C-alpha cells in the first residue's frame, strides 16, 4: 500500500466563473459531492487525512538563520495557485489514487456540470533522503530525470 497526497487548488477547470458567481444550490451540490466522496473513502479505510486550509491572506512566511525568525505575511501568488486543501489516501496502486483524483475533478460546478478541475496527485515518500546520494537521487527525480 502506498500513500498519495491529492491536492485541490482554485484552478477553475472548464468554467472560469468564480464560485462567488454560483447559486447557493450549486455551491451546496459541490460541497455535498465532496462530502459523499470523503465519506466513501473513510468507509473504505483509504482516507488517511483530509484537510481544508484557510486562505493565503492568513498565511505567514517564516525565515530564520537560527536566531530570531523574521515573520511576514504571504504568500501572495495568484488566486488559482492557492492550495485549498488536500487529502492523503492509502491505496493499493497509483491507478486507484488517480481514480480518486478523477472523481474529485468531476465535482459539480455551475449548472451541475463536472468542473474538470485539475487535481494534483503525488506519492508520499516512505523515507526522506538521509545522505548525499539519496538526496541526489531525489533531486534528479524532482527535476524530471527518471
pLDDT at 146: 46
Counting as low any pLDDT under 70, the low residues of the chain are: 74-81, 144-146
Domain that holds residue 19: 2-142
**Strands 119-123 vs 2-9: parallel, antiparallel or unpaired:** antiparallel
Please give the tally of structural domains in the chain.
1
pLDDT at 127: 84
pLDDT at 73: 81
> Rounded to an integer, what distance in angstroms lies between the CA atom of residue 117 and that of residue 102?
9
**The CATH number of the domain where 42 resides is what?**
3.30.70.1060
pTM over 0.85: no
Amino acid at each position: 500500500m502506498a500513500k498519495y497526497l491529492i491536492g485541490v487548488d482554485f484552478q477553475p477547470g472548464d468554467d472560469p466563473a468564480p464560485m462567488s458567481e454560483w447559486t447557493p444550490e450549486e455551491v451546496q451540490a459541490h460541497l455535498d459531492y465532496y462530502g459523499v466522496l470523503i465519506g466513501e473513502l473513510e468507509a473504505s479505510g483509504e482516507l488517511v487525512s483530509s484537510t481544508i486550509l484557510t486562505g493565503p491572506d492568513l498565511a505567514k512566511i517564516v525565515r530564520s538563520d537560527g536566531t530570531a525568525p523574521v515573520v511576514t505575511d504571504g504568500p501572495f501568488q495568484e488566486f488559482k495557485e492557492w492550495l485549498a486543501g488536500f487529502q492523503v489516501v492509502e491505496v493499493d496502486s497509483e491507478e486507484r489514487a488517480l481514480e480518486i483524483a478523477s472523481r474529485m475533478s468531476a465535482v459539480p460546478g455551475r449548472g451541475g456540470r463536472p468542473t474538470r478541475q485539475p487535481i494534483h496527485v503525488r506519492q508520499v515518500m516512505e523515507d526522506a533522503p538521509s545522505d548525499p546520494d539519496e538526496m541526489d537521487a531525489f533531486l534528479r527525480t524532482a527535476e524530471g530525470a527518471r
